[in-house]
Amino acid sequence: MIKIVLPSVWTGTGTTVFAGEEGPLYEVIKRFAAGNPQFGRRLIGPDGQPLTYLNLCVDDEMIPRHLRAHTEVEAGCTVTVISPMAGG
């Protein structure tokens, strides 16, 4: 299992931490979006792939866009989704 952290304003309830399944980073995001369709529009683009303008951290490391397709999220990790404009 992994943790997926979303901006608190996305949820409307203040909840920010969700459970997810380990695996390739993009698959993690796609599976999470499929299981939580209320976030699908915010995470997945019209091409069915994770939106590239979002920033993704695995634990404390921000993963550059060109490395995301090759990044594996191991069990116990935390994936944080950061909007290009955070806060406010």
Partner 1 sequence: MEPMVPIPGGPFDQGSPAWVLDWLDSQDQPLPRVWFGDEAPQVTRLVRPFRIDRCPVTNAQFAEFVAASGYRTDAEVRGVGMVYTDTGWQERDKVWWRAPGGPGTSITGYEQHPVVHMSFDDAGAYARWAGKRLPTESEWEYAARGPEFRIWPWGDTWDHRLANTAELHAGPLNSLEQWQQWWHSRYARNGPMPCTTPVGELPRRGRSSAGCADMAGNVYEWTSTLSQLYQEDAVCDPTVRQALGRYRVIRGGSWMNFRYQVRCSERMHGDPGGWSSFAHGFRCAKDL
Among residues 19, 34, 62, 69, which is the contact residue for partner 1, using CB under 8 A?
62
Stretch that binds partner 1, among 21-29, 30-38, 67-75, 78-86 (CB under 8 A): 78-86
Q: What one-letter code names the amino acid at 15?
A: T
Q: Tell me: does residue 57 bind partner 1 (CB under 8 A).
A: yes
Q: How far apart are CA 11 and CA 16, in angstroms?
A: 7
Nearest to 18 by CA among 35, 26, 27: 35
Give the 3-state secondary structure of residue 4: strand
> Which residues of this chain interact with partner 1, rule CB under 8 A?
5-9, 12, 14, 16-17, 41-42, 51-53, 55, 57, 60, 62, 80-88
